C-alpha cells in the first residue's frame, strides 16, 4: 500500500504519537526523545549498561568455550592414505558415529565408548543420550522393528542432521582460529599471547555475534523444515524402500484370500503413513524448539564438559575476556551512555544543570553545539581507550604454544599447557598414497585416484618430452651464439 501522506502530515502524526508523559517533542529537529531524569543518566543508566555488557560478555564466553572445545581428529585417521600432510580437521561424524541405515540404530556403538564419552558428548546436539540417539532399535518377538521406533524415526533423523549442522558451524570457527593448539581449558586460559589475543578478539567481537545473529537463526529455520518436511519424507522412503515388503511386515498377497487389491492397499498405506508422519513431524518440531532452549542453557552452564568443571572454566573465561578487552568493553559502555546522554540534553531536566543557556555545571552546552560536544567527547574516549588497549596488546608475549598437529591425536593436552618457541610445522603423512583416493557418487565408490595418477603420469611424460626438445634447441642457440662471439673476437 502506497503512503500518500505528505511530509508535514507524517511529522504531525509522529508528534501525536509522541507520549507527553515519558517523551518530549523537539520541534527544531522534529524528533521525539525520551525524558531521562538526572539521577538516571548519571547513576542508573551507567549501572544498567555495565550490567548488560557484563551479561553479553558471559554469553560470549560460554560460546567461546563451546567453540574451543569442539573435538577434532587427524586428517588421515579414517583413511591413512589421505593427504600429503597431516592436519587436524573436522571429524566425519556421519561415517564414524552414525549408522548407515536406521534398521541397525541411529548411532554406532562407537558413540558410547566410555573412554571417548567426553569427546563425543561435545559433538551431539543437544547432548548424547540413548533416548535421543538409540544405538540399537527395539524389536518384538518376531524380530520386527518396534512401532514406536518407526514412529520416532523422523525425530531421530532431525537430531542427526542438526548435530551435523551445528558441529560443522562451530568447527569452521575453531579450525580457522585455533585448530588443535588451544582448547580453552583452565590450564591454558592464563597463557595469553598476541596470536591468541587476536584470535579471541575476532571470535568474540565478530564470529560469535554473526553466529548468533545470522547463522544460527538460519540453521534453526532449516532444522524446522527438516523436522516438518524432509525427515518425514525420508522416513517414508525408507519405510517403503524394501521392494515387496514394508519395514514391519510384507505386503498382503491377494492370492491368499485377501479381499483388497495390492495397489489399492499400498496407496492407502502410503497416504496414511504420509499424513501420520507429517503430523508427527509437526509435533517433533515443538520438541526441537524446547531442546534448543535446554541446549542453550547447557552451553551457558558448561555442562557439555564432563571431565572438568565446565561452569568454573566459563567463569574464568568470562573474567579473562573482560580483562583482556577491558578498554574495548569500556568504549562500548561509553558509546551506549553517550547515546542516552544525547537524549537527556533534549529533556526538561537538563536545563536544571544549565543546558541551553541556564546556570549550572553544563552551561557550556548550548543548542547549537550539542552535536559537536557529543562527537568530541565520543572521539576523545575512543582514541584514549584504544591507545590503552594497544599498550596492553604490546605488553603480551610473542611466544606461541607448541603445535599439536604432529602429535598422536588432535586432542587437548593433559596437564599444564606451556608456551614455547615452537612454530607450526607441516607434518608429512608417511602413508600418503593418492592412487587409493576414491569418490563416492550415488552411494558407489569409484577409484578416481588411480585414473588421476595415470593422467598425471601421461601429462608428465608428454611435458618432459617437450622440455627435452626445447632444451636441445636452447643448447643449439647458445652454442651458435658462442661461435659467433668467438668469430667476432678474431676479426
- Nearest of 295, 127, 157 to residue 226 by alpha carbon: 157
Q: Is the dihedral of CA 77, 82, 88, 90 positive or negative?
A: negative
Q: Closest Cα to residue 147, out of 287, 291, 277?
A: 277
What is d(CA 456, CA 437) in angstroms, rounded to the nearest whole number? 14
Note the pLDDT tens digit of each residue in 111-122.
898 888 888 889
Q: What pLDDT sits at residue 419?
A: 45
Rounded CA gap, 9 and 255, in Å? 81
Average pLDDT over residues 21-42: 77
Q: How far is CA 303 from CA 65, 120, 297, in A?
A: 11, 13, 9
Q: Answer yes or no: is pLDDT of 383 > 80.
A: yes
Are residues 307 and 69 in contact, defined by beta-carbon separation less than 8 angstroms?
A: no
Q: What is the pLDDT of residue 415?
A: 43
Q: Are 412 and 74 in contact (CB under 8 A)?
A: no
Instruction: Pick the range with the lowest mean pLDDT from 7-11, 56-60, 62-66, 444-448.
Output: 444-448
Half-sphere exposure of 445 (CA within 13 A, CB side): 6
Average pLDDT over residues 151-175: 92
Mean pLDDT: which of 10-14, 138-142, 156-160, 427-431 is highest? 156-160
pTM of the predicted model, to two decimals?
0.79
Is beta strand 427-428 parallel, antiparallel or unpaired with respect to 439-441? unpaired
Provide the pLDDT for residue 304.
Answer: 79
158-175 as b/e, with b when 16 or more CB fall inside 10 Å?
Answer: bbbbbbbbbbeebbbbbb
CA nearest 60: which of 263, 246, 207? 207
Q: For 53-76, what is each residue's pLDDT tens digit?
A: 999 999 999 999 999 989 988 877
Q: If pLDDT is split at 50, 70 and 90, which confidence band does 172 have?
A: very high
- Reported confidence tier of residue 417, pLDDT bands at 50, 70, 90: very low
**pLDDT for residue 257 is more than 60:** no
- Which residues, 6 or more positions from 32, have their beta carbon under 8 angstroms from its beta carbon? 14, 15, 17, 18, 23, 24, 25, 26
Amino acid at each position: 500500500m502506497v503512503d500518500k501522506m505528505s511530509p508535514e502530515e507524517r511529522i504531525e502524526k509522529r508528534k501525536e504519537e509522541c507520549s507527553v508523559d515519558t517523551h518530549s517533542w523537539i520541534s527544531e529537529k522534529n524528533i521525539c526523545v525520551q525524558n531521562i531524569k538526572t539521577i538516571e543518566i548519571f547513576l542508573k543508566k551507567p549501572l544498567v549498561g555495565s550490567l548488560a555488557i557484563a551479561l553479553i560478555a558471559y554469553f560470549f564466553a560460554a560460546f567461546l568455550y563451546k567453540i574451543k572445545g569442539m573435538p577434532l581428529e587427524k586428517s588421515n585417521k579414517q583413511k591413512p592414505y589421505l593427504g600429503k600432510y597431516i592436519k587436524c580437521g573436522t571429524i566425519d561424524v556421519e561415517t564414524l558415529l552414525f549408522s548407515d541405515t536406521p534398521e541397525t540404530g541411529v548411532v554406532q556403538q562407537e558413540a558410547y565408548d566410555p573412554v571417548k564419552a567426553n569427546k563425543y558428548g561435545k559433538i551431539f546436539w543437544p547432548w548424547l543420550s540413548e533416548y535421543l540417539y538409540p544405538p540399537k532399535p527395539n524389536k518384538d518377538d518376531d524380530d520386527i522393528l518396534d512401532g514406536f521406533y518407526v514412529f520416532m524415526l523422523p525425530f531421530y533423523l532431525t537430531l542427526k542432521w542438526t548435530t551435523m549442522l551445528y558441529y560443522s558451524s562451530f568447527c569452521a570457527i575453531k579450525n580457522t582460529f585455533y585448530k588443535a593448539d588451544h582448547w580453552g581449558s583452565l590450564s591454558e586460559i592464563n597463557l595469553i599471547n598476541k596470536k591468541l589475543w587476536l584470535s579471541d578478539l575476532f571470535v568474540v567481537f565478530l564470529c560469535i555475534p554473526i553466529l548468533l545473529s545470522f547463522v544460527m537463526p538460519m540453521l534453526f529455520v532449516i532444522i524446522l523444515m527438516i523436522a516438518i518436511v524432509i525427515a518425514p519424507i525420508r522416513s517414508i522412503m525408507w519405510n517403503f524402500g524394501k521392494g515387496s515388503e514394508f519395514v514391519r511386515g510384507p505386503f498382503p498377497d491377494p492370492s491368499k484370500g485377501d479381499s483388497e487389491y495390492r495397489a489399492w492397499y499400498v496407496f492407502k498405506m502410503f497416504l496414511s503413513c504420509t499424513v501420520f508422519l507429517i503430523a508427527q513431524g509437526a509435533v517433533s518440531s515443538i520438541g526441537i524448539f524446547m531442546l534448543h532452549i535446554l541446549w542453550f542453557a547447557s552451553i551457558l552452564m558448561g555442562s557439555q564438559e564432563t571431565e572438568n568443571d565446565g561452569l568454573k572454566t566459563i567463569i574464568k573465561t568470562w573474567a579473562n575476556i573482560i580483562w583482556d578487552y577491558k578498554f574495548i568493553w569500556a568504549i562500548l559502555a561509553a558509546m551506549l551512555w553517550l547515546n542516552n546522554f544525547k537524549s537527556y540534553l533534549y529533556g526538561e531536566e537538563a536545563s536544571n544543570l544549565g543546558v541551553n543557556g541556564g546556570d549550572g555545571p553544563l552551561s557550556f552546552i548550548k543548542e547549537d553545539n550539542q552535536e559537536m560536544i557529543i562527537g568530541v567527547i565520543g572521539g576523545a574516549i575512543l582514541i584514549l581507550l584504544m591507545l590503552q588497549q594497544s599498550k596492553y596488546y604490546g605488553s603480551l608475549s610473542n611466544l606461541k604454544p607448541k603445535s599439536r598437529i604432529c602429535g598422536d591425536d588432535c586432542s587437548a593436552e593433559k596437564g599444564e599447557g606451556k608456551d614455547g618457541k615452537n612454530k607450526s610445522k607441516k607434518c608429512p603423512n608417511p602413508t600418503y598414497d593418492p592412487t587409493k583416493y576414491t569418490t563416492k557418487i550415488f552411494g558407489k565408490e569409484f577409484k578416481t585416484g588411480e585414473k588421476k595418477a595415470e593422467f598425471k603420469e601421461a601429462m608428465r611424460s608428454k611435458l618432459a618430452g617437450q622440455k627435452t626438445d626445447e632444451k636441445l634447441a636452447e643448447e643449439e642457440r647458445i652454442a651458435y651464439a658462442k661461435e659467433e662471439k668467438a668469430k667476432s673476437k678474431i676479426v
